[in-house]
């Protein structure tokens, strides 16, 4: 049976319209998740929601307990995760306000707990990660966007950086040379942990700024916040349609 969870990112700390039926406080072998996990009903389906930066957006990307978040969702029977993310655009077609479903990842983060098996490892725990995102889930999200006449770019490499600072122009230049289409701070190890527990995972990313050095001037939070408001309401439209399609 499919059980969907949505992990909200910057700009999506709550899921409008979610008719909450239960609030799960879960303590995991890896500590506490970013928040209680909300279980609710949306368009007649049960949906779980977890804001990865906490309900008040107080947890920075490098301090998120990714293991506790994914473990807690798995514990509640989650089989599919849609991770919502705000990213900086690197590739030319990813201007602010674009939507994109990444299909690859390069991980530039460091010092984050990367695995559920760090302390108790065996050879089978080397998961295959050739294609980090679930293709079926990606295609269903693309269809949901199409049904809503919302343009979503199909594919691009997500470069995961450590944060919380934004990147230097030279770092972005290097990432572009590596083949990154976008940059964000939370895509890893979230995607790999979901794969370790066999949860289908896809990310729906909203481009909120040109990455460092790619536009005139500096990156401002005001500009990012303006883009987030309109953009996240469209992300919600895609999620609504996706849930109706299930």
Q: Is 90 in the site for ligand HPA (CB under 6 A)?
A: no
Q: Is 12 in the site for ligand HPA (CB under 6 A)?
A: no
Q: Which of 208, 235, 238, 243 binds ligand HPA (CB under 6 A)?
A: 208
Cα–Cα distance for residue pair 169/189, rounded to 1 Å: 24
Instruction: Give me the least distance between CB of 90 and ligand HPA, in Å please.
Output: 9
Q: Which of 181, 209, 227, 228 binds ligand HPA (CB under 6 A)?
A: 209
Q: Which of 11, 33, 132, 184 binds ligand HPA (CB under 6 A)?
A: 184
Main-chain dihedrals φ then ψ at residue 211, nearest 5 degrees: -60, 165
3-class secondary structure per residue, 134-155 = CHHHHHHHHHHHHHCCCCCEEC
Q: For the stretch 45-76, what's the b/e string if a residue is b when 16 or more beta carbons lie within 10 angstroms of its beta carbon?
A: ebbbbbbbbbeebebebeebbbbbbbbbbbeb
CA 56: distance to chain centroid? Answer: 17
Instruction: Give me the least distance between CB of 228 and ligand HPA, in Å please.
Output: 9
Q: Is 160 in the site for ligand HPA (CB under 6 A)?
A: no
Bridge partners of residue 201, in order along the sequence = 81
Q: Is 211 in the site for ligand HPA (CB under 6 A)?
A: yes
Measured on CA atoms in the order 86, 90, 93, 97, is the torsion positive or negative?
A: positive
User: Of 67-75, 93-101, 140-148, 181-189, which part binds ligand HPA (CB under 6 A)?
Assistant: 181-189
Q: Which of 79, 166, 223, 226 binds ligand HPA (CB under 6 A)?
A: 166
Q: Which residue has the tokens 């122009």?
A: 169
SS3 39: strand
Cα–Cα distance for residue pair 131/233, rounded to 1 Å: 28
User: Of 24-32, 95-103, 118-126, 178-186, which part binds ligand HPA (CB under 6 A)?
Assistant: 178-186
User: Of 37-45, 65-73, 189-197, 205-213, which part binds ligand HPA (CB under 6 A)?
Assistant: 205-213
Q: Which residues are at the interface with ligand HPA (CB under 6 A)? A: 86-88, 161, 166-167, 183-185, 208-209, 211
């Amino acid at each position: 049976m499919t059980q969907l969870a949505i992990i909200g990112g910057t700009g999506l700390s709550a899921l409008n319209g979610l008719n909450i039926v239960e609030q799960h406080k879960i303590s995991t072998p890896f500590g506490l998740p970013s928040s209680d996990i909300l279980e609710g009903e949306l368009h007649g389906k049960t949906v779980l929601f977890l804001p990865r930066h906490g309900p008040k957006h107080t947890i920075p990307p490098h301090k998120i307990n990714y293991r506790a978040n994914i473990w807690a969702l798995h514990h509640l029977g989650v089989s599919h995760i849609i991770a919502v993310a705000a990213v900086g655009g690197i590739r030319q077609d990813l201007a602010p306000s674009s939507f994109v479903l990444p299909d690859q990842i390069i991980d530039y983060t460091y010092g984050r707990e990367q695995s559920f098996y760090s302390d108790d490892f065996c050879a089978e725990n080397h998961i295959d990660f050739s294609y980090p995102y679930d293709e079926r889930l990606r295609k269903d999200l693309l269809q949901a966007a199409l049904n809503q006449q919302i343009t979503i770019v199909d594919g691009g490499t997500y470069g995961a950086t450590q944060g919380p600072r934004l990147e230097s122009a030279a770092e972005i230049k290097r990432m572009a040379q590596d083949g990154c289409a976008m940059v964000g701070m939370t895509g890893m190890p979230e995607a790999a942990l979901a794969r370790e527990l066999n949860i289908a995972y896809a990310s729906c990313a909203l481009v909120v700024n040109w990455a460092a050095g790619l536009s005139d001037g500096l990156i401002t939070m005001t500009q990012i916040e303006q883009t987030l408001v309109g953009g996240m309401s469209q992300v919600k439209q895609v999620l609504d349609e996706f849930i109706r399609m299930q």
